[in-house]
Amino acid sequence: MYAHVLDIPKADYWGIEVEAIAIEKDPGGKYFCARVICSPEDGPLRMCSVYLREEGGGALCIADLPTKEEAFDYAAKVSQARGWQVKGTIYDLRIREVPGKGYLADPREPGPFTLDPAKAALYHLSIAKDDLFVGGPGEHGRWMPWFDASNHSVDRAAEKEALLSRVFAAALVAMGPSAPAEGSSDAIRMREMLKAVVESNRSDRLVIFDDVQRCVIQETLDEERFELSGHESDEELCDLILSAAPEALFRDMEPEFELDLLKAFASESAAAAINTAAATSPLVVSVAMLPAIHRRLERHGIESPFAHHFTEEVEGEPAPALRG
């Protein structure tokens, strides 16, 4: 990659391309082969490359970058410096987003869904048809451009706040002169009312538990005297359950049900929800529930996505649980 975009050659070139690239060894294992991704069979994604288009029809690679965001950013700088248009097959790639689950994952990923678009199955728009997934996990999803997709597991609290702010600002504009004054009690109440509506209509709202697991967690929270509306999302339930006592949740639980519940807690969706809750309220890391979930996952041989919160195994008496 050129340190300065003005050092990039200009003569004999006319445009910029950004491409999603897969890399594999040739059958002899001596060389690495790169190819542009146009379908899930071409993957998995390894990097995004920026090319200059030659007048004679060839292409010169000027940057190999780990993420599409970095590639788009670099291509935009080159475009601004040279006045060339940015194109590429990458703009024709589509991924399948399924509400509550994330994106349909690349077939080489361990599960059917992922929150990270870099791990999603990539389809060229020519084959991105709704009937492609009839009877499959992506049947009730929607197609979206890959270059537009964001990572649902990164700072979900900030994502939610940004979305709410956009909706609230749009609502104030629509209300015109009748809009409440900024910072007034009416404005605060209006924002709180919108919060529930916006959250319930998020396309990336995570589904973590099945109906039975959700019911058990709601009953646990109710017995622990948490205030529930009955319409909490799974992310909100994860946030709340971290403040409950472990024995209240796991007491007298059937081993098979506990294993399934622990698998739900270890899922990518739950990890995103719980790690966001821990980042927002660091105290939950030292409360008993998260260490208990972490230890149980390890005892069952399930990789814990919460290990980074604990430098060493928690010993002694558990910390007192927070109350709702």
pLDDT in tens, 195-252: 878 776 766 677 899 999 999 999 999 988 888 877 788 888 998 899 888 999 998 8
HEC secondary structure over 174-219: HHHHHCCCCCCHHHHHHHHHHHHHHHHCCCCCCCCCCHHHHHHHHH
For 123-148, give one letter per residue: b (16+ CB within 10 A) or e.
Answer: beeeebeeeeeeeeebeebebbebbe
d(CA 193, CA 186): 11
* Strand 102-104 relative to strand 93-98, pairing: antiparallel
Mean of pLDDT values over 247-269: 92
What are the pLDDT digits (tens) for 134-151? Answer: 988 888 889 999 998 988
State the average pLDDT over residues 248-270. 92
**What does each C-alpha distance from 264 to 13, 69, 186, 260, 274 come to in angstroms?**
52, 30, 40, 6, 12
- The percent of residues in the chain predicted with pLDDT above 90, rounded, is 49
What sign does the dihedral 255-261-262-264 (CA atoms) show?
positive
Would the pLDDT of 129 be above 80? yes
- pLDDT at residue 317 greater than cutoff 90: no
Q: Distance (Å, rounded) from C-alpha 244 to C-alpha 322?
A: 6
Closest-CA residue to 194 (of 219, 172, 223): 172
For 157, the token pair is 């609290």
User: Would you call the peptide bond into 44 cis, given omega within 30 degrees of 0 as the criterion?
Assistant: yes
pLDDT at 59 over 80: yes
Q: Which pLDDT value is given to residue 202? A: 67
**Whether the model pTM is above 0.85:** no
Spatial CA neighbour of 220 closest among 239, 244, 243: 244
For residue 182, what pLDDT is reported? 87
- Banded pLDDT at 280 (limits 50, 70, 90): confident
Residue 43 neighbours by CB distance under 10 Å = 22
User: Quick count: other Cβ atoms within 10 Å of Cβ 253?
Assistant: 12
The closest alpha carbon to 308, from 283, 284, 277, 285, belongs to 285
How many residues appear in the chain? 324
Quick check: 321 pLDDT over 60? Answer: no
